[in-house]
Amino acid sequence: MACGGASPATGFSHPVFAQDTLYVGSTGGKVYALDPANGNKKWTFPADNSKIAVLYSAPIVGDQYVFIGSSDKKLYVLSASSGEKQCEFETGDSIIATPAYANGVVYVGSSDGSLYAVDPKQKNDKGQCARKWEFKTQSKVWAEPLIVGDKIYVASLDHHLYALNLNRADNDKPLWDFSAEGAIASSPRFADGLLYFGSFDNNVYAVSAADGKKVWQYATENWVWADPLVVNNLVVIGSLDHNIYALDSKTGQMKWKFATGEGVRAAVSGKEAIVYAGSEDRNVYAINVSDGSKVWEYNAVDKVLAAPALVDGSVIVQTNNHKVYALDAASGQKKWEFETDK
């Protein structure tokens, strides 16, 4: 902890791999498109020496666009090939949440308490991307919305998880909402009809995607801010109590837990046998999904608050010291590193 008071804002945007490119929202406030093989820069936004603002939102890719929210309240729509700005959409407060994209519409939550549906191809009379609809919650929306079929699920710091129709009007009521005891900053994940997420009430929840009824909950010993990963019938999720938990996705029973030295805010990434996690203890861990044993660890010099990305045998992590590391997924050996602008 810093010597009391406000910690410096560094952001925790996680890298995203799409269309043969690695997209990184840097701790210095720029968006980078990198070659995942060697870390060579393809483009940056802004292209000059300026920066946007602190980035918490990850850059997601849809069609020919990169979408990223910024703490300057704006959602930026960039060309995925050149980084050139296509349009922007301004909300009432900083954007911490990663956007979601489906069927030509981008959905983004804002600290002003709303989830916005924005059409990147249409512009309003101010030259901004056109708003399709807005859904207001009672507090900040910091979690990435999840789109499943024709529904969108969004969590808010007002303690609720809401289910909405994708094609809705401003005043339409949610299909259902689930109330937790604490704020929800964890983005829901979907598997086998259930939605999984964590809450500041220390719990990991599984609720039915159909009606929002709780199926199970599991109590950790501190806030659960991280997004869950569902793999091999396990919900793997970090807690600020320093542990990473693997819970049975059907029952919520704990299968194993893995202790790190500090809180785990970042989502765990992985596909099958091994999952990868960053911790505030400055390490990146590779963990066996079957039993929670450590495969390797890599000291990343500074806190790892953003989820790792997996790219062709590499684990890409961004740390708070303005570095992007590519680690060998099997051994944890560093392949390359890239220093972003400060």
Partner 1 sequence: MQIFDIFIPLLIQPLVNVMVVMYALLGHNFVFALLASTILVQLITWPLTMQSMSSSKKMQALQNSPEWKDAQKKYKNDREKMSQVTMELYRKHGINPAAGCLPTLIQFPLLIAFYQAINVLLAVNPETLLDMTRYLYHNIPFIADIAKQTVPLQSTFLWLNLAHPDPYYVMPVLVAASTWLSQRTMSMPSGDTQQAAINNQMQLMMPVMIGWFALQVASGLSIYWIISSLVRMAIQGFTQGWGNVLPSGLKLPAGIKLPGRLSAARPAAKKVAEPKPSSADVQVKPETPPRKPDQPVSSNNGAKGEGKRRARRRARR
Site residues (vs partner 1, CB under 8 A): 1-10, 12, 54, 56, 71, 96, 139-140, 142, 157, 181-183, 200-202, 221-223, 225, 240, 263, 265, 305
Which is closer to partner 1, CB of 202 or CB of 249? Answer: 202
Structure tokens at 225: 């801010």
> Shortest distance, CB of residue 199 to partner 1, whole angstroms?
8
> Shortest distance, CB of residue 93 to partner 1, whole angstroms?
10
Which is closer to partner 1, CB of 162 or CB of 225? Answer: 225
Q: Which residues contact 142 (CB under 8 A, 6 or more apart)?
A: 56, 96, 97, 109, 111, 157, 185
Q: Which residues contact 261 (CB under 8 A, 6 or more apart)?
A: 242, 279, 281, 283
Instruction: Lay out the sheet containing 294-299: strands in order across.
Output: 269-270, 274-278, 283-288, 294-299
Which is closer to partner 1, CB of 13 or CB of 283? Answer: 13
> Shortest distance, CB of residue 96 to partner 1, whole angstroms?
6
> Shortest distance, CB of residue 150 to partner 1, whole angstroms?
31
> Shortest distance, CB of residue 68 to partner 1, whole angstroms?
16
Choose among 210, 151, 163, 205: nearest CA to 180: 205
CB 193 within 8 A of CB 215: no
CB 68 within 8 A of CB 33: no
Which is closer to partner 1, CB of 71 or CB of 110? Answer: 71
Please report, for the chain, how many H helices and E strands are present, in that order.
0, 32
Q: Which residues pair with 133 in a beta bridge?
A: 117
Which is closer to partner 1, CB of 86 or CB of 94? Answer: 94
> Shortest distance, CB of residue 148 to partner 1, whole angstroms?
26
CB 308 within 8 A of CB 318: no
User: How big is the CA angle at 148 (ends 146 and 151), to the nearest 5 degrees?
Assistant: 90
Q: Is 134 exposed, middle or buried (CB count within 10 Å of its CB: 0-12, 13-18, 19+)?
A: middle
> Shortest distance, CB of residue 50 to partner 1, whole angstroms?
21
Which is closer to partner 1, CB of 217 or CB of 222? Answer: 222
Which is closer to partner 1, CB of 96 or CB of 204? Answer: 96
